[in-house]
Amino acid sequence: MNDLTVIAGPTEAFSDAPFEARHLVNGAWCDSASGEVSERLSPAHGLVVSRAARGTRAETDAAISAARAAFDADDWSRRSGKERATLLLKVADLIDRDRARIARMEVLESGKPIAQAEAEIEGAADLWRYAASLARTMHGESHNTLGPDMLGVVLKEPIGVVSIITPWNFPFLIVSQKLPFALAAGCTCVIKPSELTPSTTVILGGLLLEAGVPAGVVNIVLGYGDPVGIALSTDPRVDMVTFTGSTAVGKHISEAAAATLKKVSLELGGKNPQVIFSDADLEQAIDAIAFGVYFNAGECCNSSSRILVQQDIADEVIERITAMSRSVSFGDPLNPATKVGAIISPEHQAKIDGYVRAARAAGAAVPIGGEILRVPGLAGQFYQPTVVGPVSPDMPIATEEVFGPVLAVLTFRDMDDALEIVNGSAYGLSAGVWSENVHTCLEFARRAKAGTIWTNTWMDGFPEMPFGGMRESGQGRELGRYGLEEFLETKTLTMRIGKTRGAWVR
Ligand code: NAD
């Protein structure tokens, strides 16, 4: 595979001392009572980059108590929108100040490229600013049409204590899609980051303290799904769980939360198709296909890991995406020229490889990639840019989330055929359509079952635009005013004007 663009390492002599990550409970940093610690190796370099306290039920219990007490004290939840917004804006400024430090830590724990990480942290600060604007502008509604003697008011109130459980692929960005919105609403929170990428959430905790967040309003417990995540989903003192992660764990959380009827908001997996019609602008589409599948090494809920190509242009598209794949730079994530970094863990690398091997064994062509990538000078795990296809719609590589830099190419005859394949998936996170005909784009957009549809573009996102999945891709929405709404209860206030309408009994 000499014809791939590989960025060898190491870009620099590696001298970072491992980050020491501790729990944040009731405004103070603490270790686990058990004294247990987990070490994290950089996925690219194979060196220890952080040591995190490994939480037990004891720390989780203390964090939930702190969040409950802070909420019930009615201080944070009853502060004015202006006060809450002021704190969120301060946090945004601190994130900007520390962008380089946060981005570097994100690279060391997740393996993503430094230039991308910096853009994500910049985007995260913008989410804090957007949530601040919502804190000041949210409101309920009034009903002045209920008759001359009645006035109705709909109040919006914070839902209460929120558990926030996040994955490893966009650790800082995803916590920033949830926490500032929950805080804007007036909720108090307990956060559990992924055990693989805890440190940037801990850095965020430090920034919150610096900005003056009251004790107990934001708590962080580090550790694994069992026991920390389970306790956060079952404890009766928690009012809501917001989770981003795999569909399998999302189902467990939904079940666990049902016992106490907590509200559950789930951002789960996807098998997101881009559908390329014969009249598409292929120059644009091919670049978007490469971006869609290789961004974040394909470890992205929005990864476009399958494309559907109209039959008469299938050979050309496979040829062109194969050629473009050779120019995408894979390698050392600390090099600013790298576009695709390391794979999160050796186990995950083996899982990606398993999907490609199974497809090859079933007869699918692999015009490029399909092997573990060795990056000179680096001990971590990588995977080659890989194109597989054409494949049939029922193959696991065409239906399941591979979560690696692996593209499955399917073909279709016409709109109905394409929609049958697109909507035949259990997932419904996002989908895209490429055509120069606006009618084709609009018909696809209305008939495809997915939370987000992109026409002639891929993966553009904005704080103003809601994001979330249909079917097994999740429930609830993040971002936009809908993202705030998730953290609010609705209270109906019905008021009589003047004396009662007359006795019910006499
Ligand atoms: P994961 O489901 O394995 O873990 C996510 C989080 O849940 C981690 O913090 C983990 O410790 C915790 N957890 C594990 N078991 C738990 C349990 N029983 N109860 C409570 N918490 C538990 O997911 P991952 O491997 O970290 O992330 C990859 C997955 O996330 C992919 O499926 C991806 O599609 C999805 N994802 C979705 C979105 C979205 O917005 N839709 C965004 C990013 C990632």
State whether the beta carbon of 386 lies less than 6 angstroms from ligand 1: no
Buried b (16+ CB within 10 A) or exposed e, 112-149: bbbbbbbebbebbbebbbbbbbbbbebeeeeeeeeeee
State whether the beta carbon of 307 lies less than 6 angstroms from ligand 1: no
Residues 299 and 203 in one domain: no
CATH of the domain at 25: 3.40.605.10
Question: Does residue 333 form part of some domain?
Answer: yes
Question: Does residue 341 form part of some domain?
Answer: yes
The two beta strands, 23-25 and 28-30, are: antiparallel
Q: Where are the beta strands (DSSP E) in 375-486?
A: 382-383, 386-388, 406-412, 430-434, 452-455, 474-475
Which domain covers residue 397, as residue numbers? Answer: 273-455
Q: Is the peptide bond before 227 cis (omega within 30 degrees of 0)?
A: yes
Residues 320 and 178 in one domain: no
- Say how many Å lie between the CA of residue 166 and the centre of ligand 1: 6
Residues 200 and 285 in one domain: no
Q: Under a CB-based contact definition with an 8 Å cutoff, are residues 150 and 499 in contact?
A: no
Residues 307 and 253 in one domain: no
State whether the beta carbon of 195 lies less than 6 angstroms from ligand 1: yes
Active-site residue, selected from the candidate residues 267, 472, 478, 486: 267
Q: What is the pLDDT of residue 465?
A: 98
Q: What is the pLDDT of residue 55?
A: 98
Counting beta carbons within 10 angstroms of the beta carbon of residue 189, is it exposed (0 to 12), middle (13 to 18) or buried (19 or more)?
buried
* Start-end of H helices in 241-281: 247-258
Question: Which residue, among 308, 304, 386, has the nearest Cα to 343 in the 3D structure?
Answer: 386
Question: Does residue 462 form part of some domain?
Answer: no
Question: Does residue 463 form part of some domain?
Answer: no
Q: Is 301 a known active-site residue?
A: yes
Q: Which amino acid makes up residue 44?
A: A
Residues 28 and 158 in one domain: yes
Site to probe by mutation for ligand 1, drawn from 249, 254, 272, 343 as the one with most ligand atoms within 8 Å of Cβ, is: 249
C-alpha distances out from residue 477 to 181, 266, 465, Å: 12, 8, 10
Residues 223 and 306 in one domain: no
Q: Is 300 a known active-site residue?
A: no
- Say how many Å lie between the CA of residue 249 and the centre of ligand 1: 6
HEC string of 442-474 equals: HHHHHHCCCCEEEECCCCCCCCCCCECCCHHHE
Q: Whose alpha carbon is nearest atom 8 of ligand 1?
A: 194
Residues 31 and 112 in one domain: yes
C-alpha distances out from residue 259 to 234, 238, 372, Å: 7, 12, 44
Radius of gyration of the chain (CA): 24
- For 142, what's the count of Cα atoms within 13 Å in the CB-facing half-sphere? 4
Q: What is the pLDDT of residue 13?
A: 83
| Spatial distance between the Cα atoms of 479 and 501, rounded to a whole number of angstroms | 44
Closest atom of ligand 1 to CA, residue 194: 9
Residues 196 and 127 in one domain: yes
Q: What is the pTM of this model?
A: 0.97
Question: Does residue 3 form part of some domain?
Answer: no
- Say how many Å lie between the CA of residue 469 and the centre of ligand 1: 14
State whether the beta carbon of 253 lies less than 6 angstroms from ligand 1: yes
Q: Where are the beta strands (DSSP E) in 214-322?
A: 218-220, 240-244, 263-267, 273-276, 306-310
Q: Other C-beta atoms within 10 Å of 236: how many?
A: 11
State whether the beta carbon of 298 lies less than 6 angstroms from ligand 1: no
Residues 226 and 282 in one domain: no
| Spatial distance between the Cα atoms of 342 and 7, rounded to a whole number of angstroms | 11
Question: Does residue 500 form part of some domain?
Answer: no
Q: DSSP letters along 156-182, please?
A: EEE--EEEEE--SSSHHHHHHHHHHHH
The structure tokens listed for 356 are 């490609």
Q: What is the pLDDT of residue 505?
A: 86
Residues 70 and 202 in one domain: yes
Helix (H, G, I), strand (E, B), or coil: what is residue 73?
coil
- Say how many Å lie between the CA of residue 45 and the centre of ligand 1: 24
Question: Does residue 503 form part of some domain?
Answer: no
CATH of the domain at 387: 3.40.309.10
Active-site residue, selected from the candidate residues 187, 189, 301, 441: 301
How many domains is the chain built from? 2
Residues 40 and 117 in one domain: yes
| Spatial distance between the Cα atoms of 410 and 388, rounded to a whole number of angstroms | 9
Question: Does residue 498 form part of some domain?
Answer: no
Residues 221 and 289 in one domain: no
Q: What is the pLDDT of residue 1?
A: 47
pLDDT (tens digit, 0 to 9) for every residue of the chain, 506 residues total? 459 999 999 988 878 899 999 999 999 999 999 999 999 999 999 999 999 999 999 999 999 999 999 999 999 999 999 999 999 999 999 999 999 999 999 999 999 999 999 999 999 999 999 999 999 999 999 999 999 999 999 999 999 999 999 999 999 999 999 999 999 999 999 999 999 999 999 999 999 999 999 999 999 999 999 999 999 999 999 999 999 999 999 999 999 999 999 999 999 999 999 999 999 999 999 999 999 999 999 999 999 999 999 999 999 999 999 999 999 999 999 999 999 999 999 999 999 999 999 999 999 999 999 999 999 999 999 999 999 999 999 999 999 999 999 999 999 999 999 999 999 999 999 999 999 999 999 999 999 999 999 999 999 999 999 999 999 999 999 999 999 999 999 999 999 999 877 788 87
